[in-house]
Structure 1
Amino acid sequence: MHEQIRVVLVDDHVVVRVGLRAFLDTQPDIEIVGEAASGEEGVQVVSQVLPDVVLMDLLMPGIDGVEATRQVRGASPSTQVIVLTSYSEDERIFPAIKAGALSYLLKDVGPDALVAAIRAARRGEATLHPMVASRLMTELTSSRRSPLDTLTEREREVLTCIARGMSNAEIADHLVIGERTVKTHVSNILSKLHLQDRTQAAIMALRERLVPLDDEQNK
């Protein structure tokens, strides 16, 4: 007899959850032990039932799937998260993996492949959509270079200003550009570097020596 794999479904679309449950209920070794329609609810359900695997959507009301994944892994470290989403953009893939997701699948995954991914996750083995795997390999290969190499010259100038503690208005004045343009550059910087906020951007600028540490300390 197979050991039961306890699974929680987290997706804000009822039709998706109903379809997943209907199919997974046919698997003798998979038991759906909870469902949630939001990131917050997903974290609560996981904290209560401590499942083996969570199927996690990314775009949901309230906290998104990335933050929900981070909280799920904190609440139940033994629970493995499989991202199951329609989105394959880098700005969604990398934050999800960094947040603790083991596997990343797109919703066009075949039924048999999904079941195989759930069983693999129970064993602690990752399953990645081929497109996602390719992008992760590219990221790992390019990680030997400075991540700042992806920035334009103007974006590097804006990042330098951020590291020096300047506000958007101050950056606009310093670089003689519009404040809206500064906001666009900041958004692009965070997206390209896979960062959450300006503080992380400033830390990376210092770590990559875009701004000398003593320059930051003496400003």
Structure 2
Amino acid sequence: MTPPVPDQRTPIGQVRIVLVDDHAIVRHGLRSVLEREQDLHVVGEAATAAEAVDVVAAAHPHVVLLDLKLSTGDNTEGLHLCGQLTELHPGLGVLVLTTFLDGGLVVEAIHRGARGYVVKDVDTTELVRSIRAVARRESSFDSRSAAAMVESMNSPSSDPRLTERELIVLRELAHGLSNRDIGAKLFISETTVKFHVRNIMRKLTATSRAEAVYEASKLHLI
């Protein structure tokens, strides 16, 4: 008799998960949802990058569910943490779970070792599917993240280091607008504007908004 083919939907045994999010209520909600699944087991939680490094080292998870924004640092701390964790633990699967939907962020997260990227309002079924895929060392993106990534990769840009959205924010910075004014003009939150401004400053190696505008002018971006 031919032996049965193993179920390939999930890895053999339980999928060990660490949750990294600065909001305890979000972690509690995720734990409640995920542990309804027989094969998913949350083995640790962390609110900061430092905590995450320690918890992952101790818990040996298959998957880290990672928010990009952590309260103890800037809005890109999650990206730095992603790179750090995947470098320390080459077999680890990082799945970004965030409110930020930007093609440039998706691409950068991949460059830093993430295997997947989903937004926080994704439904439970798709989130569980993504976790299982990442645990099998596959890639997984929700439909909007995938579309944003493709759009970012196909969008013309005068400088490949900056995303199209970052270029738009940069031009508003050059006009002297505040984060609040930029958000109102572009119909995005002030927090999202701050996120883009920090990315712009980092990519242009600038220490202030004014210096970012100056460096951008030398590159003929504005």
TM range (shorter): 0.5 to 0.7
What's the counterpart of residue 191 of structure 2? none
Alpha-carbon deviation of 1:145? 8.1
- Cα distance in 1 for partners of 2:125, 2:204 equals 35
What's the counterpart of residue 104 of structure 1? 117
Contact 2:102 2:148 in 1 (8 A): no
CA displacement 1:154-201 (0-9 Å, x = unmatched) = 99xxxxxxxxxxxxxxxxxxxxx9xx97xxxxx989846983735xxx
- Cα distance in 2 for partners of 1:15, 1:117 equals 22
- 2:100 alignment partner AA: Y
- Cα distance in 1 for partners of 2:139, 2:89 equals 18
Compared CA separation, residues 124 and 67, structure 1 to 2 (3 A): same
- 2:79 alignment partner AA: V
Query: Alignment partner for residue 26 of structure 1, among 20, 30, 36?
Result: 36
Alpha-carbon deviation of 1:136? 1.6
What's the counterpart of residue 158 of structure 1? none
Alpha-carbon deviation of 1:125? 1.4
1:71 aligns with 2:84: yes
Compared CA separation, residues 145 and 29, structure 1 to 2 (3 A): same
Contact 2:103 2:150 in 1 (8 A): no
Query: Which secondary structure does the structure 2 equivalent of 1:147 belong to?
Result: coil
RMSD of aligned C-alpha atoms?
A: 3.7
Query: Which secondary structure does the structure 2 equivalent of 1:62 belong to?
Result: coil
What's the counterpart of residue 85 of structure 1? 98
Alpha-carbon deviation of 1:59? 0.8
- Higher RCO, 1 or 2 (CA under 8 Å, sep at least 6)? 2
Contact 1:55 1:81 in 2 (8 A): yes
Name the larger-Rg structure: 1
- Cα distance in 1 for partners of 2:13, 2:140 equals 20
- Cα distance in 2 for partners of 1:88, 1:30 equals 26
TM-score by length of structure 2 reads 0.65
Alpha-carbon deviation of 1:38? 1.1
CA displacement 1:84-134 (0-9 Å, x = unmatched) = 111113453333222211111111111111111011001111111222211
- Cα distance in 2 for partners of 1:70, 1:146 equals 23
- 2:54 alignment partner AA: Q
1:41 aligns with 2:51: yes
Contact 1:120 1:127 in 2 (8 A): yes
- 1:36 alignment partner AA: A
Query: Which secondary structure does the structure 2 equivalent of 1:33 belong to?
Result: strand
- Cα distance in 2 for partners of 1:6, 1:196 equals 38
- Cα distance in 2 for partners of 1:193, 1:62 equals 19
Query: Which secondary structure does the structure 2 equivalent of 1:74 belong to?
Result: helix
- Cα distance in 2 for partners of 1:33, 1:189 equals 35
1:195 aligns with 2:203: yes
Q: Percent of counterpart pairs with the same letter? A: 33
Give unmatched runs, 5+ long, in structure 1: 156-176, 182-186, 199-204, 211-219
TM-score by length of structure 1 reads 0.66
- Cα distance in 1 for partners of 2:204, 2:58 equals 29
Q: For this pair of structures, how many residues does the alignment match? A: 178
